[in-house]
Chain A
Amino acid sequence: MEVCSASSNVTLREFGCEQSLLSRPDGSSSFMQGDTSVLAGVYGPAEVKVSKEIYDRATLEVVIQPKVGLPSVKERALEQCIRETCEASLLSSLHPRSSLTLILQVLHDDGSLLSCFLNAACMALMDAGLPMSCLFCGVTCAIDTEGQIITDPTAAQEKESRALMTFAIDSTEHRVMMSSTKGSVSVHELQECIAVSQKASEKIFQFYRDSVRRRYSKTL
């Protein structure tokens, strides 16, 4: 069993977020983690095609648009991860026979892309005012060749890492909603990364609260 040392200088990169920046979508947000930037737009609840409607819940559709080229299998896999997370936190039974569409556009990829997608998605769903049972955030952990844990890795750090893990953490109980891993890790390393992600998620949720507080500071 490998024990990887959690060094004391694990950091999250500079965060930035802007909400309601597009006029057409019902909710939109752009999320930046260092240089990685993502734009999210939400439409809903809106009319749904009869072939896709569900009688007691809203139908959630997630679309990821890469910067260059047409979407491929990689984007479909990421869409699946994000859709599962969103469906777990959205109260979709409040809008039966409706459609919710979440569109994510890559603006620049410098590592931790899936967690950036998750964060942008949550902020966009908040901006659209869709009812959710909990907020969620994404944290990416990488284990480099020496066994150190790095959170929020850049693209260069991701390339040299032995394993890469992304976790979606919920805001109420800080439990793992979704996990996506690449590379081999021991059980102990996995649990350590989950614990680190839970600690990091507290910072991200505080950032959400600060953003929303700032946004409504003039009206409330």
Chain B
Amino acid sequence: MRDTPLSNCERDFLLKAIGEKKRLDGRQTYDYRNIKIKFGTDYGCCFVDLGKTRVMAQVSCELVAPKDNRPNEGIMFFNIELSPMASPAFELGRQSELTVKLNRQLERCLRNSKCIDTESLCVVSGEKVWQIRVDVHMLNHDGNLMDAASIAAITALCHFRRPDIGIQGDEVTVYSPEERDPIPLSIYHMPICVSFSFFQEGTYLLVDPCEREERVMDGLLMIAMNKHREICSIQSSGGIMLLREQVLRCSKIASVKVSEITELITKALENDKKVRKEGGRCGFAESMPRERITALKMDETPVEMTDVTERASDIVQKVKAPPATVPSPVLPAPGMGQVGEGLQNAWGLEDEEDEEEEQEDVATMEEKRYKKGGTGDVVVISDSEEEEVVILNPETKDS
């Protein structure tokens, strides 16, 4: 499936509007879209809505052997899935450039910045460590996938709880969540990616581009920062040439945005913690908006089962026995077997071919009968003088 190409008049309109400092959805140059963060039922599942861009992240853990060069550190594994649901341009299974770019940027943002304490993930040095796996699924692509993915990933990591471990000598026991409360990961800081798109060779700048704006942009600058104003990674793509002042200005804007977003994340995490403590239900099902006209909820309903048993007994008694089939293979004589003769030909071939085939079948069957009855002589099957078909019997050798 291919994405619809951008028409020239759309492109011209967008560029002209940007030149006049206007955006399609009425935002200002430095404004972010509405960010909504919701959590799933189990720990480590998080949904992020950045305007219409929707992203889901799930964190899971597993005990594995550590890497050889780092025997007492845990392993972090990131995987961004561009689901075909997000955009008709995303195809399943193909590692497109965008997949690689997003994966690489997320790894640099979260792994290289050492935001998670990997040494605390070690269970038995050199033998067993925790592997934390973060899967990010794109559900709807309306621009700025990287920011949404980084917010979802770090929020899911903060939300995640790993099972508790008990070590007695050489034995390691993993406790289930019912036996002992699971433990959160130790996170030092929360790096968040902020994207800046550039137009008209660096003259105009927009923060958080939507999908249309991304299509007409010249280049993209991604800055990953945390709320302590430390830059974790910078990446510029698209081949635009930026001045030093521009990059510094972008980093100042990024620090403001990152502190706002971090506050939003901490508030969402606290809300969720409160709801879980009070024992309330949480999850995607609960967070579904009810006042919308496109959403409906139905309570638990009983199913009538009054005459079910009678109906079932009726059906079972009325059913006919299956038609008797000829058991195959049929053995007319010892040492010889026939399969399929006497039944209707179900191959649906035309009549002429049918007859020919039947004749051939009969002919070969007779030959085979003759052959089997013989004492292992060489038997000529076809009449043609060009071929010589030789049949080897398993008991005698043919030399």
* A residues whose Cβ falls under 8 Å from a Cβ of B: 3, 5-25, 28, 30, 32, 34-35, 37, 39, 41, 43, 46-47, 63, 65, 67-69, 99, 101, 103, 105, 107-108, 110, 149, 151, 187-188, 191-192, 194-196, 199-200, 203, 207, 210-211, 214-215, 217-218
User: Quick one: which of B56, B305, B311 has the most chain A CB within 10 A?
Assistant: B305
A47 to B89, CA, bound (A): 12
A39 to B305, CA, bound (A): 31
Beyond A24-B88, A103-B84, A203-B303, whether A18 also contacts B294 by CB under 8 A is yes
* Partner among B81, B133, B142 whose Cβ is within 8 Å of the Cβ of A24: B142
A74 to B54, CA, bound (A): 26
Taking CB atoms, residues of chain A closer than 8 Å to B42 are 108
- Where chain A touches its partner, the secondary structure class is mixed
A149 to B302, CA, bound (A): 13
Q: A194 — nearest CB in chain B belongs to which residue?
A: B312
Contact present for A17 and B295 (CB under 8 Å): yes
Contact with A along B131-145 (1 / 0, CB 8 A): 001010101111000
Beyond A23-B52, A23-B142, A108-B40, whether A191 also contacts B315 by CB under 8 A is yes
Contact present for B85 and A46 (CB under 8 Å): no
* Partner among A18, A20, A23, A68 whose Cβ is within 8 Å of the Cβ of B133: A68
Beyond A24-B142, A99-B1, A105-B139, whether A34 also contacts B285 by CB under 8 A is yes
Q: Is B288 an interface residue (CB 8 A)?
A: yes
- Output the least CB separation between A37 and chain B (Å): 5
Beyond A18-B292, A65-B137, A108-B40, whether A199 also contacts B305 by CB under 8 A is yes
Contact with A along B115-143 (1 / 0, CB 8 A): 00000000000000000010101011110
Contact present for B83 and A21 (CB under 8 Å): no
Q: B1 — nearest CB in chain A belongs to which residue?
A: A46
Q: Is B45 an interface residue (CB 8 A)?
A: yes
User: Quick one: which of A105, A207, A217 has the most chain B CB within 10 A?
Assistant: A105
Taking CB atoms, residues of chain B closer than 8 Å to A199 are 303-305, 308
- Output the least CB separation between A70 and chain B (Å): 8
A214 to B304, CA, bound (A): 26
Contact with A along B92-123 (1 / 0, CB 8 A): 10000000000000000000000000000000
Count residues of B near A (Cβ-Cβ below 8 Å). 52
Taking CB atoms, residues of chain B closer than 8 Å to A218 are 293
Taking CB atoms, residues of chain B closer than 8 Å to A149 are 305
Q: A32 — nearest CB in chain B belongs to which residue?
A: B285
Q: Is B301 an interface residue (CB 8 A)?
A: yes
Enumerate 8 A-B pairs (CB-CB under 8 Å) in ascending A order: A9-B302, A11-B303, A18-B294, A23-B142, A191-B316, A199-B303, A199-B304, A207-B296
Contact with A along B172-194 (1 / 0, CB 8 A): 00000000000000000000000
Contact present for A211 and B296 (CB under 8 Å): yes
Contact present for A17 and B296 (CB under 8 Å): yes
Contact present for B308 and A196 (CB under 8 Å): yes
- Output the least CB separation between B78 and chain A (Å): 13
Q: Is B328 an interface residue (CB 8 A)?
A: no
